[in-house]
Structure 1
Amino acid sequence: MRKEISTEEPPDSRRRMRQKSRSVGPVHDLEEHVKPDWWRGIFNHLYLKTDGDVVGDRRITEREIDRITEILALSPESDILDLCCGQGRHTLELVRRGYAAEGLDRSHYLIQKARATAKREGLKVRFKEGDARELPYKPDTFETALILGNSFGYFDSVEEDVRVLREVRRVLKPWGRILLDVTDGEYVKENFQPRSWEWIDEQMFVCRERSLSVDEERLVSREVITHVEKGVVADQFYAERLYTRDALQELLDLAGFSDIAFHDIRTESVRNQDLGMMERRHIVTAVIRKDWTRVKAKQARSVRNVTVILGDTSQPDRIKPSCVFDEDDFYTIDRMKTALAGLKDYRFTFVQKHDALIRDLAKAKGTADYAFNLCDEGLGNDPRKELHVPALLDILGIPYTGAGAQSLAFCYDKSLVRGVARETGIPVPDASFIAPGDRVYNIGVPFPVIVKPNAGDSSFGITQKSIAHSVEELSTVIATMRSTLGYGTSFLVEEFLTGKDISVGIIGNPSGTYTVLPIIEEDYSALPPGLPRICGYEAKWLPESPYWNITSKPAELDPDTEKTVVRCCLTLFERLECRDYCRFDWRLDAAGKPKLLEVNPNPGWCWDGHLARMAGLAGISYAGMLGRILRAAEERLGLDADPRTPPAEHEAGTVPPTETA
């Protein structure tokens, strides 16, 4: 639960070098450079420029909707799903015409653009982030599903495309229809341009290379986007499957569709230069003949018995200033219990005596559906033993919320997280690891720097005195921290970043249903001049400190930075095996480039913590936030509750919590 600190701008030579490293230069095999999940990072503001001659022209969108409504003979009462909707151009046009449509896309950036457009125009329409392979809808929800703009065939295998079609089949009503607008694979395979370039506006041009994959089933493309003043701004690779008519027919048959028909559609473009996969397309329609999904007899879910595991309030806690739970801690626990009591259909039992934890959990195994693990203090209030609680639950065979022992072990080691981030291409501050026995600090990191324990939580040990501006100051800071934290402590010496201090919260699981909460940044305006802009131990634990006045506010980020940060967070969420909820701390450098500071699985759950603040900005109450974490775990665990509907709230006390001594 920590923030981090500031750094002066890198030397000009280093900054120029970083700008030049955007391109990989000449490559002999385009396919080698295509990542399996290339679609995660490519749909941003540059996509809206490179494809703007089609996707940005409202007149083209209007004519495409004319053709689609003609083919389907849509009625205003039809419930329409625009799948892989991007920035929502088709969804919005349908809603403008009075149709009941909603959109879903994996791109956080494009969904935010769609929502902003709908808000600006006063349109009532829902846009969701989600994976087309696992749709967050109940069976038999829509009459019509659209996959437009050649948004089909991005995945690494045909099997994943079949998963998409079967999910569409599931959410369509009996006799529902699917419409795909896809490239004519046969034509493109024979007529694609191996190399081309075009101006996309007055300051940017794009150079493209293309080749067929080894199996000749996909068109592999490379785009090098160049700004006349800034140089190369993107060098990106992607691959799209080339389906022939016969292959599409077989695919739809396999997914359970019938009455398959092909229709023509005209491709238009203002620039009319390199249309790539959009050069020639066709529309494919099909019908699903199925029975209504049988409704489970158990409509009203029974009360869920949940065991809540907390820190031990009767034992010392060295992280806290007084080393014991104080009135604020007990108030925080009471707020949490009140919020949980406001969730319908749950009965909570609280376990917090760690000396009897094994006995109490063994008793709970026969009665609890799962455990709500809120013990971020660690077993015996030892933060190094936070992973012991999920490990014990695994041994006892009790399902639980949040990260497992391995994930907590990964993320407790800041240097290890840095290594994983760098391995996946995620930017981190320059840093040097200081082992317990090190006495000479040849760190290779430009001053000023911040010193922090390599393993730790709750910003323990990170204060305004953790900043060093020279080797002499660095020696003093480390010596002081060793005398306080112990001589066996290892440290991380990081460049001191001076840009915005931001946090990203995610509730859910990227492999299923998830929500990226509004990003927040620390507001240092109330901090006296001269103090380093950090959110450390003093800001979280010492009311008498000037750092106590630090607040959070909605982050103001440019769209590209927000897109990059969210994409990196989702990548790390899965790579570090986080589950159900997580918080990521970032800091921008002086040039505005984001760098990852920390990954917090099972982040602070308190009513006034960062996660709750982000949830509040999304219009989610504190009780609603806790309920969403529970539902995320239930979806992941395969319990029978519907994960797409947050738990209802009611008057506190309807299902009273109980407590285990």
Structure 2
Amino acid sequence: MNKAKGKSRITTFLGPVESLESYVRAEWWREIFNANYIRTDGDVVDDSEITSKETDSFISLTDLSKDDIILDLCCGQGRHSVELAARGFKNIYGLDRSHYLINRAKKQAAKDGYSINFREGDARKLPYSTDSFDCIIIPGNSFGYFESCDDDKKVLLEVFRTLKPGGKLLLDVSDGDYLKENFTPRSWEWIDKNYFVCRERSLSSDNERLVTREVITHVSKGVIADQFYAERLYNPEMISSMLKECGFKNIRIHEPIITESQRMQDLGMMARRLIITSSVEKEWSPKKKQANKKRSVIVIMGDPELEDKVKPLCKFDEDDFKTISQLKDALSGLKNYKFTYVNSHKNLMSYLIKNKNRFEFALNLCDEGFSNDPEKELHIPALLEMLDIEYSGGNPQCLSYCYDKSLVRGIAKELDIPVPKAFMINPEDSSFIEFPIHFPVIVKPNYGDSSVGITKDSICSDVNELQDAILNVRKISGAEKPILVEEFLTGKDISVGIIGNLPDEYTVLPVIEEDYSALPEDLPKVCGYEAKWDPESPYWNLKSIQAELPEDVMRFLTASCIRLYARLGCRDYARFDWRLDKNGTPRLLEANPNPGWCWDGHLAKMAGFAGMNYQDMLESIMISTEKRIFPDNEEIESKVIPEMNPVTN
């Protein structure tokens, strides 16, 4: 067994196994393409000379022009895209399922000063409009990963759809017949002075796939990965037949690529590859969207005429009206939408019943809750559900889950995501004798958001301060509500934002951290109620900066937030708040579906670090919502989020 430093998760590695095939997961490709992939296959996929030679061949065989619009599909770390950009090609797109490799591609392109549109996505459902590309390449043996060949056909059909009439496809795939006869059943090799890899291989029971097991070992850390994968073995006849079925013409099989690497040891699936080109003969697709047609959207907001106990003066103030004005100004610039605003909660139900056929979906920005009661935030989507009105953001169940901090902690533990140590104080608990965690601690209402009940006085260093903090929370949230007491973590205070929808149409925004450098030394470092609501407080001037985190921490945060997004049922956009402990381990604090949408909120700050202005952020949320609601409408324009790479140290 291996235990990662600072993490509670223990991974068990296998000994000898009788059947490699039985250990291959259906979607093995979701997690395997990470830093270990670059290590084990770097002698080919990270060799600039090999990439240059392959690019020479691709340009020649497809007769590429520097003005062509090119998609590098399953682009990995973008080695061919970057090479094409270096040669003056102007319109390059890259798509891959691996978050790690796409981030690496973006980082390399930015370092070299190239503008390449890299994004995550599934090749079976391309996020591009029909008739978009002059040429699509699928290089580096990135075809045949799926368990069923029907999924491979889906990839080719999507390629056919997104290629322009006369567009060309270049497919680079392992020579299946050669590998069946020449694969190496067992091998091992040194990757460098610290890592070596042992491999086992066998043909699948149907003889159609080559199954591989890789055990990667570090000289001091021991085994760091034990992974299984399987790739389909295509020969020229099989590929040609599949291309014909999918409508391609002018299919040509070219001279194979015989790979030579610096290590010249186990080249595996990269040893000998087939190069196939073909073209698309079809009519241009008709425009499905009427010119100048705008979607009618109703925007549901808090009610400024009602009391709002969350706000300092219990009512909407000048700052709130400024925020609403900024929102309306930004939305007015979105050319594809016509917005109607409604904020009277007294008449909300009757208004929606009467006018539901006048709009196509609702933009739910009522994070105040129905009648400005935060406990009734889920009532708005529940009402929309009952009236069969589509809407943005989380559904009632998602909002209910995330309103309960203890419940989110339990779900995180179920997913093996670390949380701070904590205990609950129930309404009937008047005192306590045993104290299960060490000081300092932070006292929070278990229910709620907007940092209500969390102030500098919530941080306690002894029992007396703890008792005072508990009394304060009970005054604010009510004596009948449970209270959460957590260990107060002293590491970086960070937030992760996601815009879009799983499994593929989403973007993880640059991670931010709170900058406490301007805060007086005697004040605890916490971004609570004062930072959001009290202009007279020293906390009001806190700033958010782009987080500087180690690469492995950034990967862990991203993967964990995606898993939470799925498990909690988040939709369209969400924010997750974390804090590092003294060992640098991220621990989840809260999950926020429908997070603050205001122009100066945390989500907008993350978007800013991604190069997006406030209007861009809102448009991205709108498009994510629209694509989820109308999945068959190919004419919905994608909002390209110019995502920056995470800052690492």
Q: Which moved more, 1:65-74 or 1:48-57?
A: 65-74
Q: Which moved more, 1:330-339 or 1:37-46?
A: 37-46
Shift of residue 645 of structure 1?
4.4
1:48 aligns with 2:38: yes
Q: Which moved more, 1:106-115 or 1:302-311?
A: 106-115
Alignment deviations for residues 540-591 of structure 1 (CA, whole Å, 9 cap, x no partner): 1222222222110111123332233223323332332221111122222223
Q: What is the aligned partner in structure 2 of residue 119 from structure 1? A: 110
Aligned 8 A contact 1:508 1:581 in 2: yes
Q: Give the 5 Å matches for 1:422-433.
A: 422-433=413-424
Q: Which moved more, 1:380-389 or 1:602-611?
A: 380-389
CA separation of 1:492/1:244 partners in 2, compared to 1, >3 Å: closer, same or farther?
farther
Shift of residue 149 of structure 1?
1.2
CA separation of 1:377/1:209 partners in 2, compared to 1, >3 Å: closer, same or farther?
farther
1:166 aligns with 2:154: no
CA separation of 1:16/1:127 partners in 2, compared to 1, >3 Å: closer, same or farther?
closer
Q: What is the aligned partner in structure 2 of residue 109 from structure 1? A: 100
- Asked which structure has the greater RCO (Cα within 8 Å, sep 6+), the reply is 1
For residues 568 and 20 of structure 1, what CA distance do their matches in structure 2 show? 13
CA separation of 1:73/1:637 partners in 2, compared to 1, >3 Å: closer, same or farther?
same
Shift of residue 234 of structure 1?
4.0
Q: What is the aligned partner in structure 1 of residue 283 from structure 2? A: 291
CA separation of 1:464/1:555 partners in 2, compared to 1, >3 Å: closer, same or farther?
same
Alignment deviations for residues 598-657 of structure 1 (CA, whole Å, 9 cap, x no partner): 22111101111011112222222212222221122112111858433449xxxxxxxxxx
1:26 aligns with 2:15: yes
Q: What is the aligned partner in structure 1 of residue 383 from structure 2? A: 392
For residues 330 and 9 of structure 2, what CA distance do their matches in structure 1 show? 52
Shift of residue 402 of structure 1?
1.5
For residues 345 and 110 of structure 1, what CA distance do their matches in structure 2 show? 33
Q: What is the aligned partner in structure 1 of residue 619 from structure 2? A: 627
Shift of residue 112 of structure 1?
3.0
Q: What is the aligned partner in structure 1 of residue 636 from structure 2? A: 643
Shift of residue 36 of structure 1?
4.3
Alignment deviations for residues 96-141 of structure 1 (CA, whole Å, 9 cap, x no partner): 2233433222333323332332333333433233222222222112
Q: Give the 5 Å matches for 1:211-226.
A: 211-212=202-203, 217-226=208-217
1:414 aligns with 2:405: yes
Shift of residue 426 of structure 1?
3.4
Q: What is the aligned partner in structure 1 of residue 218 from structure 2? A: 227
For residues 517 and 121 of structure 2, what CA distance do their matches in structure 1 show? 37
In structure 1, runs of 5+ residues without a counterpart are 1-12, 648-661
Shift of residue 458 of structure 1?
0.9
CA separation of 1:17/1:617 partners in 2, compared to 1, >3 Å: closer, same or farther?
closer
Question: Which amino acid counterpart does residue 285 of structure 2 have in structure 1?
Answer: T
SS in 2 for 1:366: helix
Q: Give the 5 Å matches for 1:313-332.
A: 313-332=304-323
Q: Which moved more, 1:422-431 or 1:467-476?
A: 467-476
The normalised TM-score by structure 1 is: 0.88
Q: Give the 5 Å matches for 1:364-383.
A: 364-383=355-374
For residues 589 and 27 of structure 1, what CA distance do their matches in structure 2 show? 38
Aligned 8 A contact 1:260 1:286 in 2: yes
SS in 1 for 2:198: strand
1:135 aligns with 2:130: no
Shift of residue 352 of structure 1?
1.1
For residues 400 and 559 of structure 1, what CA distance do their matches in structure 2 show? 36
Aligned 8 A contact 2:168 2:278 in 1: yes
Match of 2:480 among 488, 491, 495: 488
Q: What is the aligned partner in structure 2 of residue 91 from structure 1? A: 81
1:278 aligns with 2:270: yes
Q: What is the aligned partner in structure 2 of residue 148 from structure 1? A: 139
Q: What is the aligned partner in structure 2 of residue 576 from structure 1? A: 568
Aligned 8 A contact 1:67 1:265 in 2: no
Q: What is the aligned partner in structure 1 of residue 644 from structure 2? A: none
Q: What is the aligned partner in structure 1 of residue 609 from structure 2? A: 617
Q: What is the aligned partner in structure 2 of residue 450 from structure 1? A: 442
Q: What is the aligned partner in structure 1 of residue 61 from structure 2? A: 71
For residues 37 and 458 of structure 1, what CA distance do their matches in structure 2 show? 38
SS in 2 for 1:42: coil
CA separation of 1:621/1:533 partners in 2, compared to 1, >3 Å: closer, same or farther?
same
For residues 441 and 222 of structure 1, what CA distance do their matches in structure 2 show? 54
SS in 1 for 2:502: coil
The normalised TM-score by structure 2 is: 0.89
For residues 130 and 507 of structure 1, what CA distance do their matches in structure 2 show? 14
For residues 119 and 547 of structure 2, what CA distance do their matches in structure 1 show? 21
Shift of residue 31 of structure 1?
5.3
SS in 2 for 1:51: helix
For residues 239 and 230 of structure 2, what CA distance do their matches in structure 1 show? 18
Q: Which moved more, 1:638-647 or 1:56-65?
A: 638-647
In structure 2, runs of 5+ residues without a counterpart are 641-649
Q: What is the aligned partner in structure 1 of residue 643 from structure 2? A: none
Match of 1:346 among 304, 328, 337: 337
Shift of residue 143 of structure 1?
2.0
SS in 1 for 2:358: coil
Matched-pair identity in % = 56
Aligned 8 A contact 1:81 1:102 in 2: yes
Aligned 8 A contact 1:22 1:234 in 2: no
Aligned 8 A contact 1:307 1:364 in 2: no
Match of 2:451 among 459, 476, 491: 459
Shift of residue 249 of structure 1?
3.5
For residues 345 and 79 of structure 1, what CA distance do their matches in structure 2 show? 25
For residues 492 and 34 of structure 1, what CA distance do their matches in structure 2 show? 42
Q: What is the aligned partner in structure 2 of residue 9 from structure 1? A: none
Q: What is the aligned partner in structure 2 of residue 654 from structure 1? A: none
Shift of residue 171 of structure 1?
0.6
Q: What is the aligned partner in structure 2 of residue 531 from structure 1? A: 523
For residues 209 and 501 of structure 2, what CA distance do their matches in structure 1 show? 30
Aligned 8 A contact 1:23 1:232 in 2: no
Aligned 8 A contact 1:23 1:234 in 2: no
CA separation of 1:80/1:20 partners in 2, compared to 1, >3 Å: closer, same or farther?
closer
Aligned 8 A contact 1:83 1:147 in 2: yes
Aligned 8 A contact 1:183 1:280 in 2: yes
Q: Give the 5 Å matches for 1:482-631.
A: 482-631=474-623
Q: Which moved more, 1:355-364 or 1:424-433?
A: 424-433
Shift of residue 172 of structure 1?
0.6
CA separation of 1:642/1:561 partners in 2, compared to 1, >3 Å: closer, same or farther?
farther
SS in 2 for 1:358: helix
For residues 433 and 386 of structure 2, what CA distance do their matches in structure 1 show? 43
Shift of residue 522 of structure 1?
0.9
Shift of residue 456 of structure 1?
1.4
Q: Which moved more, 1:630-639 or 1:522-531?
A: 630-639
Question: Which amino acid counterpart does residue 511 of structure 2 have in structure 1?
Answer: I
Shift of residue 221 of structure 1?
3.8
SS in 2 for 1:154: coil
For residues 42 and 170 of structure 1, what CA distance do their matches in structure 2 show? 29
Shift of residue 393 of structure 1?
0.7
Shift of residue 161 of structure 1?
2.3
Aligned 8 A contact 1:218 1:239 in 2: yes
Match of 1:202 among 176, 189, 193: 193
For residues 462 and 246 of structure 1, what CA distance do their matches in structure 2 show? 67
Match of 1:251 among 239, 242, 249: 242
For residues 523 and 4 of structure 2, what CA distance do their matches in structure 1 show? 27
For residues 220 and 422 of structure 1, what CA distance do their matches in structure 2 show? 33
SS in 2 for 1:136: coil
